[in-house]
Structure 1
Amino acid sequence: MKQHYDIIIIGGGMVGGSLAASLIPAAQRLGLSIAVVEAFPLPEAGSEEYQPSYDTRSTALSYGSRLIYEQIGIWQQLRQHLCPITHIHVSDKGRFGATRLNAEDEHVSALGYVVENHWLGRVLMNRLAQEDAAVIDLLCPAEVTDVVSDDNLMRVALTTAEGDQQITAELVVMADGGRSGLREQLGIGYQQKSYQQHAVIANISPETAHGNIAYERFTDTGPIALLPLEDSVLSGEASQQDFHRMGLVWTVPDEQIDEILGLTDQQFIERVHERFGYRAGVFVKVGERFSYPLKLSIADEQVRQGLIVLGNAAHALHPIAGQGYNLALRGVVALAAELIEAREAGVNLGDIHHLTRFADRVRQDQQKTIGFSDKTMKLFSNDNPLLALGRSAGLQLMDICPMAKTVFARSAMGLDQPTPDLR
């Protein structure tokens, strides 16, 4: 551990790890020193055989996120354990409207991908453990207890296994998630709106293969999304069995969450069929269920002198359309590009003027993505008959209008935003 770093990243999860990985070539070239601080022990790096577990949590990556990870240099390893989305089916329960997208029409190999969080974390750690990543120190397990500004430096207090430590940096990046205690400690307020809904997360198995199709089904109690996952192999005493898997994200009203979580596996499957139907076939197995309340949360400040708030600590949105992590990743590479420009120009990395420039660059993307998520949620949660008819007609019109479908697909794939050059 050094006493001073150019950049300290608080949080070694997918956002913090992606930022560190994206800065490795520039850090070598420009002499940047970077520390990643994580409260939990990070997974050991290595290329040993990886077996997907049945209940692992997953994230949807847009095609644009693939381009980002190709530039960072981890896509070839990442693609070993992910599932491409080649078709998307969007429908409105009880209405005639539906829209279907497919990768072939958009001239791409896949519209997106679904990756297990544990595998993405391992691939990122493998990248940070490579010999050329010696410019990055992984400080973990370590807990940040305080962050203060002192002239042109940021002072970070840590609690580690060796005792209390203090290190400094030109810039501190807070990527410690939506429940960031540091954000509150630093007096960074946030605008928050509850959707009065919970997301129920589980992996569920159809009897037949999913065919790389992702589904978004709007219902009168909230949307249901089903994402294709890599098949899982479960070993038993007598036999080994392959299970097709899909990631379920089911939005339910707050007042129903206890009932839904209390259902037996068979009751849960029956309720999913009642809400979703049988487009994906008959479900035969469901895994452990998780839930969390759905809120729109936006930090009042994303930049200060010497400080940046990134990822879920900056903005958390409804999981509809699966855009949350992709928005965060676009912010990661925009920040990396800005930091490279600043160091090449000899500017202090914590200078508020260039940090404000970064905030201005990502604001439009954030407003558009968050606004789309929020307005879509409101539109498809409204039981007004005229609105219901209009949205159903809109889905059907999009399905028969190639130009509208392409515009929508490119936005969903994250291809309407340029990818910064990190070289």
Structure 2
Amino acid sequence: MQNQQTDYDLIIVGGGMVGASLAAALLPQAKALDLSIAIIEAVPLPSMAAAEFQPSYDARATALAYGSRLIYEQMGVWDALAKGVAPIEQIHVSDKGHFGATRLNASEERVPALGYVIENHWLGQVLLRHIQTHEAADHVEFLCPATVEKITPNAQQMSLTLKHESGEQQLSAQLVVLADGGRSTLREQLGIAYQETAYGQHAIVANISPDRDHQGVAYERFTDTGPMALLPLQPQAGIARCGLVWTVSDAQLDDILALDDDAFMAAVQERFGYRAGRFIKVGERASYPLKLTLADEQVRQGLVVLGNAAHALHPIAGQGYNLALRGVVDLADHVIATRKAQQPLGGLSSLQQFHTARMADQQRTIGLSDKTMKLFSTANPALALGRDMGLQLLDICRPAKTLFARGAMGLDIKAPKLK
């Protein structure tokens, strides 16, 4: 893979959901602004993505807030994505062994759905197909399989050493975006420190089938050993599916993963209860440690850090990817406005303004996730009583419920322009 072009306006390191979403957000203006964009990805580019959704029983999924749907509508990709989503029509929040419970309903909030659950491979597939078939597709070049060995800041541009099967190559760009995930080696190579808080917990994720239709209900169940989320998925081969995210302590992890399928479903049933029915099938299980991670620097001259490379949250509120997507479209807006003003895309002062504008959303979302996890993990009787009274009051106070629902749907954030 020896590409002819070596100088770009924008280089995105990482072609996953965050990186591909950034390219998709810029495409409508790429031709008018004559933007040259490169996406560098370590794995080969898949053949032209299929237009038909093929659900997989064990596919991992992401919860999209309703506000994220509106973002993807602006990009022009929602109609394709919608073929592979399961709408969240209701959210049921409960506290095991306590009286507190809250229910949110899409019809009460006058939206078609509170959110959507989408298989990650379908989201990635649709984004890649959209980029490859867009009328401005010639403004985006995929450089893969390839890895960035080094990034060197220069006075006006960033220099990158690209390694691929043909050897090494030098590239340059006004702006480099790191969207290479939470284990970003380039972030560390650049000396970007980050704050990390380990929760002493792991998330066990699997797809699980109840003996009845989930009816579009998403559950958040708080237990004395950690929260459980059950998210509606599209059925596969006529079998109902839900995405399970079960938070367990580090000490419990190995014992739970060692359970056979029947014993695992029985353990889930004991923790979750029978609100969704009786669990009859479970797929492959995976786990990952839960940490709150926040990069000390998210912008530098010629550099922006996005997605999990910038921040990773506890999955308790399902807001991690939605926060990242809002950062994506805010950066796209910034790039478009900067280009229209005929200013360099990597200018430090303007990138700092972009970051400052993002901080309120980040702090609010990260704070909500962290405080909710700590509140519902405590065994303190006074705090337990307070949280259950709070859930009950939220359930009966219509204005407070709407305010909470709008925040969960991402509708209290200024909409991007992308033009």
TM-score range, shorter chain: over 0.9
Whether 2:109 is the aligned partner of 1:106: answer yes
Shift of 1:35: 0.1
C-alpha distance in structure 2 between counterparts of 1:95 and 1:27, whole Å: 54
Whether 2:205 is the aligned partner of 1:209: answer no
The residue number in structure 2 matching 1:341 is 337
* TM-score, normalised by the number of residues in structure 1: 0.97
- For the residue of structure 2 that corresponds to 1:396, the secondary structure is helix
The residue number in structure 2 matching 1:312 is 308
Whether 2:327 is the aligned partner of 1:331: answer yes
Would the aligned equivalents of 1:63 and 1:113 in 2 still touch at CA under 8 Å?
yes
One-letter code of the match for 2:286?
F
One-letter code of the match for 2:250?
D
The residue number in structure 1 matching 2:241 is 245
The residue number in structure 2 matching 1:71 is 74
* TM-score, normalised by the number of residues in structure 2: 0.98
C-alpha distance in structure 2 between counterparts of 1:228 and 1:72, whole Å: 25
The residue number in structure 2 matching 1:135 is 139
Residues 131 and 379 from structure 1, CA distance in 2 versus in 1: closer, same or farther, beyond 3 angstroms? closer
One-letter code of the match for 2:232?
P
Would the aligned equivalents of 2:94 and 2:221 in 1 still touch at CA under 8 Å?
yes
Write out per-residue CA displacement over residues 147-199 of structure 1, whole angstroms, 9 at most, x where no aligned residue. 01111110011111221111000000000000101100110000000000000
Shift of 1:47: 3.4
- For the residue of structure 1 that corresponds to 2:52, the secondary structure is coil
The residue number in structure 1 matching 2:202 is 198
C-alpha distance in structure 1 between counterparts of 2:300 and 2:394, whole Å: 43
One-letter code of the match for 1:22?
A
C-alpha distance in structure 1 between counterparts of 2:285 and 2:11, whole Å: 35
Whether 2:90 is the aligned partner of 1:87: answer yes
Identity percentage of aligned residues? 62
Write out per-residue CA displacement over residues 25-44 of structure 1, whole angstroms, 9 at most, x where no aligned residue. 11111001000000012332
Q: How many residues align?
A: 415
One-letter code of the match for 2:380?
N
Would the aligned equivalents of 2:18 and 2:307 in 1 still touch at CA under 8 Å?
yes
Whether 2:224 is the aligned partner of 1:228: answer no
The correspondence for 2:293, drawn from 291, 294, 297, is 297
Would the aligned equivalents of 2:53 and 2:83 in 1 still touch at CA under 8 Å?
no
C-alpha distance in structure 1 between counterparts of 2:400 and 2:394, whole Å: 6
Q: CA RMSD in A?
A: 0.7
Would the aligned equivalents of 2:89 and 2:112 in 1 still touch at CA under 8 Å?
yes
Write out per-residue CA displacement over residues 94-143 of structure 1, whole angstroms, 9 at most, x where no aligned residue. 00110000000000000000000000000000011114121000111111
Write out per-residue CA displacement over residues 262-286 of structure 1, whole angstroms, 9 at most, x where no aligned residue. 0000000000011100100000000
Shift of 1:366: 0.0
- For the residue of structure 2 that corresponds to 1:382, the secondary structure is coil
The correspondence for 2:58, drawn from 55, 58, 79, is 55
Write out per-residue CA displacement over residues 29-73 of structure 1, whole angstroms, 9 at most, x where no aligned residue. 100100000001233223343311100000000000000000001
The residue number in structure 2 matching 1:238 is none
Would the aligned equivalents of 1:306 and 1:351 in 2 still touch at CA under 8 Å?
yes
One-letter code of the match for 1:190?
Y
C-alpha distance in structure 1 between counterparts of 2:207 and 2:37, whole Å: 37
C-alpha distance in structure 2 between counterparts of 1:187 and 1:46, whole Å: 37
Q: What residue ranges of structure 1 are gaps of 5+ in the alignment?
A: 234-241
Structure 1 residue runs of 4 or more that deviate by more than 2 Å after TM superposition: 42-50
- For the residue of structure 1 that corresponds to 2:58, the secondary structure is coil
- For the residue of structure 1 that corresponds to 2:180, the secondary structure is coil
C-alpha distance in structure 1 between counterparts of 2:349 and 2:381, whole Å: 50
Would the aligned equivalents of 2:91 and 2:103 in 1 still touch at CA under 8 Å?
yes
Would the aligned equivalents of 2:206 and 2:244 in 1 still touch at CA under 8 Å?
yes
One-letter code of the match for 2:175?
L
Q: What residue ranges of structure 2 are gaps of 5+ in the alignment?
A: none
The residue number in structure 2 matching 1:236 is none
